[in-house]
Amino acid sequence: MKLRALLALTSLFTLACTAKSSGPLAVGDAAPQVSGTTETGAALAFANVYAAQEYTLVYFYPKAGTSGCTAQGCSLRDSYEDLTRKGVAVIGVSTDTVAAQKAFKEANHFPFTLIADTDKTVINAFGVPTYAGSNAAQRQAFLIKDGKIIWADYKASTAQQATDVLKVILSQK
């Protein structure tokens, strides 16, 4: 009996050591087939967005209405025409409520969808960490093409987010 217990423990240890560590998705990984709740309260299946656009940018930010998150969103808003001409759909994600996301979008005139990921379904699907002692997602961005992550920014910029994305797209052509 002791031998069985030892073998079982060894198997669990081996499995734990060889399992892929959970963390943010990497370039080449499949984009998560996840759904989220938009700022209007509607469900959005990310797979539908991936299929409808050449590129999808999914960016994560800690808190609607804060200075860094506003700068990041405004960067994307101000370059939205350039992004859409390149075939990019933009989706912003935070753990804020539907009402907070709606107010954030309206106050800043964002032309793209915001996801109220209060249960962290989308955040967890992308492997985005939260800040210690908080529910807030760390600032990260993922560019998706043909159902795969083609670019991951684990320290996503604020004021330069759109410029960074456009550089990646230009390098793809």
Q: Is residue 8 part of a domain?
A: no
Q: Of the candidates 157, 172, 166, which has an alpha carbon nearest to the alpha carbon of residue 82?
A: 166
- The residue range of the domain holding 98 is 25-172
Q: Record the pTM.
A: 0.86
The first and second tokens of residue 59, run together, are 């960016």
Instruction: Tell me the per-residue pLDDT of 82-99, one tens digit each, with 9 for 90 and over.
Output: 999 999 999 999 999 999
Beta strands in the chain (DSSP E): 35-37, 43-45, 55-60, 88-94, 113-116, 140-145, 148-153
Residue 101's alpha-carbon distances to 24, 106, 113, in angstroms, are 23, 9, 9
CA dist., res. 133 & res. 120, Å (int): 15
Is 20 a member of any domain? no
Instruction: Examine the pLDDT at 5 and tell me if it is beyond 60.
Output: no
Measured distance CA(140)–CA(24) in Å, rounded = 9
On the question of pLDDT at 52 being above 50, the answer is yes
74 among known catalytic residues: no
Q: Each residue of 106-153: pLDDT tens digit?
A: 999 999 999 999 999 999 999 999 999 899 999 999 999 999 999 999
Candidates 25, 31, 69, 125; catalytic one: 69
* Per-residue confidence band for 163, with pLDDT thresholds at 50, 70 and 90: very high
Mean model confidence pLDDT for the chain: 89
pLDDT for residue 158: 87
Q: What's 61's DSSP letter?
A: -
For the chain, percent of residues with pLDDT exceeding 70: 87
| CATH number, position 145 | 3.40.30.10
Is residue 2 in some structural domain? no
pLDDT range class, residue 157, cuts 50, 70, 90: confident
Q: Mean per-residue pLDDT for 48-56?
A: 96
- Structurally, how many domains does the chain consist of? 1
Per-residue confidence (pLDDT) for residue 22, from 0 to 100: 63
Query: 165 lies in a domain?
Result: yes
